[in-house]
Structure 1
Amino acid sequence: MREDWKYRYDEVLKKESLLQTVNKQLEKAQVRLKQAGGQRTAAEKALKSETRDVERLEKASLTNLFYTVLGRKVEKLEKEEAEAIQARIRAEETRLAEEELARMTAELEQRRSSLLGWEEEAAALLQEKEEWLRGRSEDFRQQLNRLYEAKRRALSEGKELDEALQAGYELVESLEEAENLLRSAKSWGTYDMFGGGVIATHLKRSKANEAMEQIEYAQGLMSRFKRELEDVGGAAEMNLDYNGFLGFADYFMDGFIFDWIVQGRISDLKDAVSENIDRLRQLLHALQQRYEARLTDEAGLTRDIHLLIERS
C-alpha cells in the first residue's frame, strides 16, 4: 500500500506546483488580452477614419472640390487609399492577435480548473493512509491523537479570540462615534458660554443627547466584550459613568456658571470615553497577537499531522 500511495500522493502534490505556474501564465495572458482588445479598438477606429477620408474624396464634397481645383485629387486619393489599406491590415492583425490570446487564455483557465481540486485529492489520500495506519500501529494512533487534540485546542482558542476581537472592534467603533459627538458638543458648548445664543445651546444639547444614546449602546457592547474576554482568560477595567451628565440646571437655568458646569461634564465624559478607547486598542492589539499565534500554531500542527502520515 505504501509505495502505491506514495506514488499517487506525489502525483497530486505536483499539481500544486503546476497550479502556481498556470496562475502566473494566466495572469500575464489576461493582461495581454486586455491590451490586445485596446489595440484592436484603436485599429478599428483608425480604419473608420481612413475609410471616411477616401469616401470624402470619391464623393461630391468640399474636400473633393478643393483637391480637384488644385489638380491633386488623384494624388491625394491614392495616398488616402494606401493609408486605408494599411489601416485595414492593422485592424485585421489586431483582431487575429486578440482571438489567439483569447484562445490561449481559455486554455489556461481550463487547465487551471483541472488543477484546483488538488488539495481535496491530497486530503482524501492522507485520510486513506491515516485509516490504514490507525489499524496497524498503536504508537501512530497515539501520536496522531495528541496532534489532533492540540490542533483542536488551537482552533477553539482561535475561534474564541476572533469572537472577542470582533466584539472589541464593534465597541471601539461605537465609542469613537460617541467621542466625536462629545467633541462636537464641547465645541458648541464653548460657543454657547460666550453668547452663542439659542442655536448654539440647542446644538450643544442635541449633540450631547446623541452622545448619551451612543454611550448607552456602547455599554451593551462593553458587557458583551467583557464576556468574550473572560472566555479567553482576559479582563478589562472599563467604565462609563455619565449619571447626571446633562441635568436639570442646563435645561431650565441659564448663565455662565451653569454653562461652565455642563461644559466641564462634557469634557470629563469625553476624556473618559477617550481613555476607554485607548485601553481597548491596547487590549485588541494583544488579542490580535494571540489570535495570529493560534493561527500559526494551527498551521504548524496541520503540517505535523501531514508529515506524520506521509512518513509513517
Structure 2
Amino acid sequence: MIELDNLYTKLTRVKEEMIVNQKYLNHCLQAKANAKRVYESFTKSSDQYTKQQFKRFLTSLIGREEQYIEKIEQSRTKAYKHLNECTETLEQAYLEQERLENERNRLTTQLHALKQQLNETSGPYREEVLEAFSERKHLRETCEEIDEAFYIGQKILRYVYEAIDALDSAKSWSTVDMLGGGFLTDVVKYDHIDKAESIMQKVEVGLMRYQEELKDVSYSWDSGYEYLSNSHRLMDFMLDNIFTDVSNYNKIQDNLSSLENLLNQITTSQNRLSALRKQVEIEIEQSLDLYELDKNQS
C-alpha cells in the first residue's frame, strides 16, 4: 500500500499549499483595497478638489503652482502604478489557488479510486479499514473528553476573573482604610473579600473536576489563595490600626498575585487542550482520507 501512502502525501502537501496561498491571497486583496483607496483619494470628492484648488491658488501667489501640480501628478501616477501591480499580483494568486484546487480534486479522485481498488483486491487493506473505523470511534470519544475539560477550564477562568475583580475592589477599599477609613470601610472591604472567597470555593471544585478530565495533558497549578480567618477579621475590626490595615492590604495583594499566576497556569492548560484537539482532528481526517471508502467521491 505504498502507492496509497504516496498519493495521500501528495494530497496533504497540496492542501497545505492551498492554506498558505489562501493567506497570501487575502493579503493581496487587502493590499489592492489599500492601493485603490490611495489612488481614489486624488479625485474622491468635490470638497477635496476645492481644497486642492485653494492650495493651488496659494502656491500660484508665490510662483510654485507648476511644482505643486507636478508633485500631485507624480503621486497620482505612482498610486496608479501600485494599484496595477497589486491587481496583477492578486490575479496571479487567484490563478495559483485555482491550479491548486484542480490538483487537489485530481488527487482526491485518484485516492478514492485507489481505495476502492484496494478494498476489492487487498485483504490486509480491508482489515485496516475495520481497524481504522474502531480507532476513529476512540478518537471521537477523546475529542468529547477534551471538549468537556476545555469547557470546565473556561468556566474556571471566568471564576478567576470574577475573583480578581472582587479582590481589586477590596484592595482599593483597603487602601482607603490605611488612609484613615473606619468601620464602614472595613464592612465594604470585607464584603468584596467575602465575594472573592465565595468564588474561590467554586474555583477549587472546578479544579478538581478539571484535573479528572486532564488525562493526556500535562498540567501544573496551585492557586496559593489564602482565606482570611475569622480571628484575623476580628482583629482588624477590633484593633483597626495601621498594622492590621497594612497586613490586610498585603494579604489581598498576595492573593491577587496568586490568582494571576493561576490564571496563567489554566490558560496554558487550555492552550494545550486546544493543540491536542487539533491533533486528534488531524488524525481523524487522515484516517477518513485513507480508509473511509465513501469519502472523497467525485
TM-score bracket, shorter-length normalisation: 0.5 to 0.7
Query: What is the DSSP-based 3-state SS (H/G/I as helix, E as strand, rest coil) of the residue aligned with 2:130?
Result: helix
Aligned residue for 1:97? 81
1:53 paired with 2:35, answer no
How much does 1:210 deviate?
A: 3.2
How much does 1:153 deviate?
A: 2.4
How much does 1:207 deviate?
A: 1.6
Q: Over aligned residues, Cα RMSD in angstroms?
A: 5.8
Aligned residue for 2:125? 140
> Any gaps of 5 or more consecutive residues in structure 2?
293-298
Alpha-carbon separation, structure 1, partners of 2:258 and 2:59:
77
How much does 1:141 deviate?
A: 1.6
Counterparts in 2 of 1:188 and 1:134: CA distance versus 1, 3 Å: same
> Any gaps of 5 or more consecutive residues in structure 1?
58-62, 68-75
Alpha-carbon separation, structure 2, partners of 1:267 and 1:16:
53
Query: What is the DSSP-based 3-state SS (H/G/I as helix, E as strand, rest coil) of the residue aligned with 2:128?
Result: helix
Aligned residue for 1:204? 189
Q: Larger radius of gyration, structure 1 or 2?
A: 1
Alpha-carbon separation, structure 1, partners of 2:283 and 2:150:
23
Report if aligned partners of 2:18, 2:100 keep a CA contact under 8 Å in 1.
no
Amino acid paired to 2:123? E
Alpha-carbon separation, structure 2, partners of 1:187 and 1:267:
12
Alpha-carbon separation, structure 2, partners of 1:55 and 1:193:
64
1:107 paired with 2:110, answer no
Amino acid paired to 2:212? E
Equivalent pairs: percent with the same residue?
17
* Equivalent position to 1:230, from 194, 212, 217: 212
1:255 paired with 2:235, answer no
Bigger relative CO (Cα 8 Å, ≥ 6 apart): 2
In the TM superposition, 1:69-84 aligns within 5 A as 76=63, 80=65, 82-83=66-67
How much does 1:185 deviate?
A: 3.5
TM-score (norm 2): 0.57
Counterparts in 2 of 1:163 and 1:273: CA distance versus 1, 3 Å: farther
Alpha-carbon separation, structure 2, partners of 1:88 and 1:263:
66
TM-score (norm 1): 0.55
Alpha-carbon separation, structure 2, partners of 1:194 and 1:86:
67
Alpha-carbon separation, structure 2, partners of 1:154 and 1:115:
33
The aligned length equals 279
How much does 1:205 deviate?
A: 3.5
Report if aligned partners of 1:185, 1:205 keep a CA contact under 8 Å in 2.
yes
How much does 1:164 deviate?
A: 1.0
For residues 97-117 of structure 1, the C-alpha deviation after alignment (integer angstroms, 9 at most, x for no partner) is 255246436634643664675
